[in-house]
Structures are given as structure tokens and as C-alpha cells.
Structure 1
Amino acid sequence: MESFLLFFETMPAWQKVVWVVSVLVVCWLFEGYYPLFKHAYKKWNHAKVNFIFLSITLVINIVFGIATVGIFNWIGENHVGLLNMVDWPIWVELIVAVMVLDLVAQYLIHYLLHRVKWMWKFHMIHHSDTKVDVTSGTRHHPGDYILRETFALGAIIVIGAPISYYLIYRFLTVFFTYVSHANVVTPKWLDKTLGLIFVTPNMHKFHHHFERPWTDTNFGNIFSLWDRMFGTYVMDDPKKIKYGLDVLDDSTDTNVIYQFKIPFDKNIKTDY
């Protein structure tokens, strides 16, 4: 187990990039053969828009990466956090760390992004995509992403997780983010079985429906447990889903400049 953790702790940056690209490519290929919706769009043109947001996210990620290393050093020197107060087996600590990180840095912040008006204005960019596919998982306004990373740092301090646990969590987050956004048909029996614990593609698609109440459900990223526990879980026929937002013009979803300005446009009204 220790060698497994050491592998993640000493992993070079290029291997992390390979993981991101690999998951994207595999999901992209599956979308071509087993699409849930046959979108009438040019896939590469759609991807270019979302990859612009991804490029900015990567820059922000570098900045937060430097801050994260400093926090891990501080945790190690001062023995801060839950895991420094207990003596559990490594595998138990790892599971607890991933679950707490997913709860705080994914479910909780995602819930707030939908409930707090100024946060929602940043998060609207993610929901404005009218052709949801694997690249939609990369579509986040810089303000949205900064909020997510800030909550992640807070969760790291609360749990007192070593950096290897955090990196494993990030790898899982990448996998579930891209898979859950992928435009793929998932067999009902498989989706239902995996959905008892994990977030599945069908489950997350309801979160991207263009109007409430479905828009405000299924906030989880790795575990579906949080939505089930807190009453935000929903499941229906995926074919009923329509992507986008009812307060935005669908034609603006590929206008990058317009999308960046949404959080600051007072003419765009929301119910929050």
C-alpha cells in the first residue's frame, strides 16, 4: 500500500497530463460509437470553446498547486487535521480522505454554486453548454474554478490528508468528471447498479437539464451517496433532458467573450 501511495506522490507532471488526455480520448471515442444524444454540431468546434476554458483552468491549477504544496508542508509540520488525530489503517484513511474531499470540495461547493446568486452567475457558464459531451467537463469560468479550488484547500486542512491521498482523489475526480459528462448511452442495469454508490453519466445529465427542478439536483462528482443523503438525488428517463439554461439564448453557448462576461452582466436575471 505504501508503494502505491509513493507512486502517486512521486509521479511526474507528464504522467498526470497523460491521465487527463487518456480519459478525454477514451470518452470521446465512446461518444462516437454509443451516443446518448445525436447532437447536430461540429464536435471539434464545440471542443475548441470548452478547451479555451480548460487552458485558463490549467493556469489557475498551477497557482493553486504551489499553494497546495505549502499547505501540505504546514499540515505535516503541525499535525493538523482529522487524520493526524487517529491511528487508522492506511486504506481506511484513504477512503475517508477521498470521501471528505468529495463531500466538501465537490458536493458542498457545487450546492452553493447553485444557491448563492453571485456564485451561480459564475457557474452558469458550465450549464450554458447546449451540447453536453466529455469536453463539457472542462468548461468552467475562472471564478467558478477558483471557488472550487479554495474549498479543496479547506477540505485538505480539515482532513489533514497527505499529498498522496489528495493526488489519488484528483485522479478520481478527473475520471468521474469526464465520464459523467460524456455523451454515451449507459445500460440501465449498469447505471442503476453503479449509481447506488457512484455518480453515473445518466445521473449527472439531469443536472444539466435547462430548467429547475432538475438543474438543482445531483451535485455529486464521485459519490452519489451525498445526493441520496441530502435529498438532492433525482433519476428519470434521460431522453427527457434538454441541455442549456432557460435564462440564456442557446446561440450564445459558443460565444466565448459573451460567456466570460455572464457573471458581470446585470441584464441576465436569475431566480436566486
Structure 2
Amino acid sequence: MNAFLDFFEVMPIWQKLIWLIAVITIFWILEGYYPFRKKSYKKWKHARTNLTLLSFTMVINTVFGIATAGIFLWGQKVQLGLLHWFEAPVWVELIISLLFLDLIAQYGVHYLLHKNKWLWHLHTVHHSDTHLDVTSGTRHHPIDFIMREVAALFAVLITGMPISFYLFYRIITIFFTYWTHTRFAVPEKLDKALSYIIVTPGMHRFHHHREMPWTDTNYGNILSIWDRLFGTFLYDDPSKIEFGLDIIDETQTDVLSYQLGLPFDKRITYKK
């Protein structure tokens, strides 16, 4: 187990990049052949907008990588965090760490992005996408992404996890980020069955419905247990789903300048 986790600690950047590209490519192909809903849209133009936003987050991620390394060194030096309070097998500590990361850095911060009015302004960029597909997974306003990174570091401080746990979690997150947003039509019975444990594309599509209250459901990223535990889980009729956001000019879904300015557009009447 230790050797497996140590691999992620020394994993070269080029291997991480290959993993990112491979996951996007696989779901891009699958959703092209087996789409949830056949709808004509300019897929490459749409991808260009979302991947440009991804490039911004990658720059931010590099900066946070430096901060993260410093926090891990400091945390280990002062023995800060839950995992320093008891002895347990590595696999138990890993599960605890992943649970905290998924709860705080995914479900928790996502919930706040919807419930806090100022944060919701930032998060509208993600929800304004009317052509939800695999590239939508990293469609985030840069400040929105910073909030997620801060939440992840908060989870690190609470648990005191080693950096290998955190880097393993980041690799898993890449998969789920694109898996949950793909247009790939997972058979409904299988999707529902999987949604008892993990977040599925079918489950997450309800979160991207253009109107509340569905918009304020299914906040999870990896595990669906948080939505079930806190009463935010929803699974309804997929045919009713319409992507986008009813308060946004949906003709501007692929206009980068419009998306970056969304949080600061005073012409928009936010409902939060």
C-alpha cells in the first residue's frame, strides 16, 4: 500500500497531464457515440471556451501546489491533524482522508457556492453551460476554483494526511470531474444503482437543470452518501432536464469574456 501511494508523490507532471487528456478523450468519444440526448451544438467552440477556463485553473493549481507543499511540511513538523492522534493501518488513514476531502473540498464548498450569494455569483459560470458535456467539468471561474483549493487545504490541515494521500485524491478527482459531466448515456438502471455509492452522470445532470429547486441538489463529486445523508439527493425524470441557468443570457454560453464577467454583471437578478 505504501509503495502504491508513494508513486503518486513522485508522479511526474507529464504523467498527470496524460491522465487528464486520456480521461477527457475517452468520455469525449463515448458521449459522441452514445449521447444522453442528441442535440446539435458547436462542440469544438464549446470545448474551446471550457478548456480556456481549464488553462486558467491549471495556472492557479501550480501556484497552490507551492502553497500546498509548504502546508504539508509545516503540518508534519507540528504534528497537526486528526491522523496524528491515533495509530491505524495505512488503508484506514487513507479512507478517512478521502472522506474528509470529499466532504469538505467537494460537497461542503459546493454547497456554500450555492447558498452564499456572493459565491453563487462566481459559480454561475459553471451553471451557465447549456451544452453540458465532458469539457464542462472544469468550467469554473478562476475565483470559484480558488475557493475549492482553499477548502482542500483546510481538509488537509484537519486530517494531517501525508501528501501522497492528497495527490492520490487529486488523481481520483480528475476522473470524477469528467465522468459526472459527460453526456455519455449510462444505462438508467445502472446509473441509479451506482448512484447509491458514487456520483453518476445521470445523478449530476439534475444539478445542472436550469431552474431551482433541482439546481440546489446533488452537490457531491465522488461519493453520493453526503447528498443522501444531508437530504440534498435527487433522482427524477431525466427527460425533464434542460441545461443552463434561467437568469443568464443563454446565447452567451460559449463567449469567454461574458462568462468571466458574469459574477460582476449588475444586470443579472440573482435569486439567492
Fold agreement, TM-score > 0.5: yes
**CA offsets 1:253-272 (integer angstroms, 9 cap, x no match):** 11111111111111111111
Aligned pairs (5 A) from 1:57-72: 57-72=57-72
State the partner residue of 2:139: 139
Please report how far the alpha carbon of residue 243 of structure 1 lies from its aligned counterpart in structure 2 after TM superposition. 0.4
Give the distance between the partners of 2:254 and 2:206, measured in 1 at CA. 21
Q: Deviations over 1:160-188 (max 9, x none)?
A: 11111001111111111100100011112
How far 1:39 moved relative to its partner? 2.2
Alignment deviations for residues 108-128 of structure 1 (CA, whole Å, 9 cap, x no partner): 100000000110000000000
Q: Give RMSD over aligned pairs.
A: 0.8
1:99 aligns with 99
Corresponding residue for residue 202 of structure 2: 202
Unmatched segments (≥5 aa) in structure 1: none
Tell me which stretches of 4 or more aligned residues in structure 1 moved more than 3 Å: none
Matched, 1:5 2:2: no
User: Could you tell me how far apart the structure 1 residues matched to 2:174 and 2:86 are?
Assistant: 29
Residue-by-residue CA offset, 1:40-97 (whole Å, 9 max, x unaligned): 1121111001011001000000000100000111111111101111111111111110
Residue of structure 2 equivalent to 1:266: 266
Equivalent in the alignment of 2:255: 255
Matches within 5 A, 1:204-223: 204-223=204-223
**Secondary structure, aligned partner of 2:180:** helix
Letter in 2 for 1:159: T
Q: How does 1:27-176 map to 2 (within 5 A)?
A: 27-176=27-176
Matches within 5 A, 1:213-252: 213-252=213-252
Q: TM-score, normalised by structure 2?
A: 0.99
Q: For residue 185 of structure 1, what is the aligned residue in structure 2?
A: 185
CA distance in 1, matches of 2:41, 2:7: 41
Distance in structure 1 (CA, Å) of the matches to 2:212 and 2:78:
45
- Structure 2, gaps ≥5 residues long: none
- Aligned-pair identity in percent equals 56
SS in 2 for 1:181: coil
Distance in 1 (CA, whole Å) between partners of 2:39 and 2:121 is 26
Structure 1: distance between partners of 2:47 and 2:79? 43
Residues in 2 aligned to 1:91 and 1:247: alpha-carbon distance in whole angstroms: 45
Further displaced range: 187-196 or 157-166 = 187-196
Counting matched residue pairs gives 272
Distance in 2 (CA, whole Å) between partners of 1:22 and 1:241 is 28
- SS state of the match for residue 271, structure 1? coil
